Amino acid sequence: MSGGPEDALFEQVTHVWDAVRELPAFIEKIIEPRVLGEVEEGAWIEPNRVQVGEGSRIERGAIVRGPTIIGRKTVVRSGAYIRGHVMVGDECMIGHGTETRQILVLNKSNIPHKNCIFTSLIGNRVNIGGLTNTANFLLSGKQVLIRIEMEGKQQSFSTGQTLFGAIIGDDSKVGGNILLQPGTIIGRRCLIYPQFTLWGYIPHDSVVKSKLVDFEVVSRAVENRS
C-alpha cells in the first residue's frame, strides 16, 4: 500500500491483477476534474475529465484524455498521449512520445521515452527504459492468464480479460527496448537487462539477462586488413 487514494482500489480486489480490470470504474468514481498545476500553451487536456495535482506540468504538445488523474509534481512531457482511464501518482514522469491507456502508475515512477504501456500496473519508484512496451492482447484472442510458481508448483489464474499488459513491482528497473508479453509479472526490486522479450513471472529481487545477445569488439585496423 502507498498511502494514496489507490489503496482503496487494492482493498476491493482479491488478486493484484484484478485492479487492472477495476481501474476504469475506480477512476470514474473518485476523479475530481480540476487543474491545480500548469498546462502549457499548446497542450490539450479533455475538458472536465482530467485532474491535475499541484506542482504538475503538462508540456506543450501533450494530449491528455479523460478520465485521467495526475498527482502532484508530475511531468507529462511534450508528445505524450494519455488516452484515458489512467491514474498517475506523485513525482512521476510520462515522457516524450509515450502512449498510455488504462494504467496505474504509483509514486516516483518514470515512463520516459517512447513507450507504449497499456492495461498495466506500475509500482513505486519504477523506471522503464526507452522503447520498452507492454503487449496486452494475445493473437488467439483468449483471456490472458497469470502464471505464478507457488510452493514449487506452477499455477495459472485467469485475469478474466482479453486485454492485459503487465505488473511491475516497486523499485524495479526495466531496461530499454524490451517487450513485456501479456500477463508478465515482475516482482519488487528486479533488474531487467535491455533488448529482449520477457514473459511469465519474475520473482522479487531477480536479475534477468538475455542469453541471446552477444557482440564482438575488434580494432578498426584489424577489420580493414580482413
Give a yes or no: residue 23 inside a domain: yes
In this prediction the pTM is: 0.92
Give a yes or no: residue 179 inside a domain: yes
DSSP single-letter state for residue 17: T
Give a yes or no: residue 100 inside a domain: yes
Q: What is the pLDDT of residue 220?
A: 74
Give a yes or no: residue 1 inside a domain: no
C-alpha–C-alpha distance, residues 176 and 115, integer Å: 9
- Average pLDDT, stretch 1-12? 85
Percent of the chain with pLDDT over 70: 96
Q: For residue 21, what is the domain's CATH number? A: 2.160.10.10
- Closest Cα to residue 11, out of 1, 21, 20? 1
Containing domain of residue 36, as a range? 7-225
The pLDDT tens digits of the residues spanning 30-53 come to 999 999 999 999 999 999 999 999
Using CA of residue 30, residue 123, residue 195, residue 63, what is the dihedral sign?
positive
- Average pLDDT, stretch 136-156? 90
- Closest Cα to residue 89, out of 5, 189, 211? 5
Q: What is the pLDDT of residue 211?
A: 82
Q: What is the pLDDT of residue 1?
A: 57
- Average pLDDT, stretch 97-123? 97
Tell me if 177 sits within 8 A of 132, measured CB to CB: yes
C-alpha–C-alpha distance, residues 124 and 107, integer Å: 5
Q: What is the pLDDT of residue 217?
A: 81
Give a yes or no: residue 2 inside a domain: no
* CA angle, 49 then 51 then 52, to 5°: 140
Give a yes or no: residue 155 inside a domain: yes
The residue type found at 116 is C
Q: What is the pLDDT of residue 154?
A: 84
Q: What is the pLDDT of residue 212?
A: 73
Percent of the chain with pLDDT over 90: 86
Phi and psi torsions of 18, nearest 5°: -65, -20
Give a yes or no: residue 27 inside a domain: yes
- Average pLDDT, stretch 4-28? 95
Give a yes or no: residue 52 inside a domain: yes
Q: What is the pLDDT of residue 152?
A: 79
* Number of domains the chain contains: 1
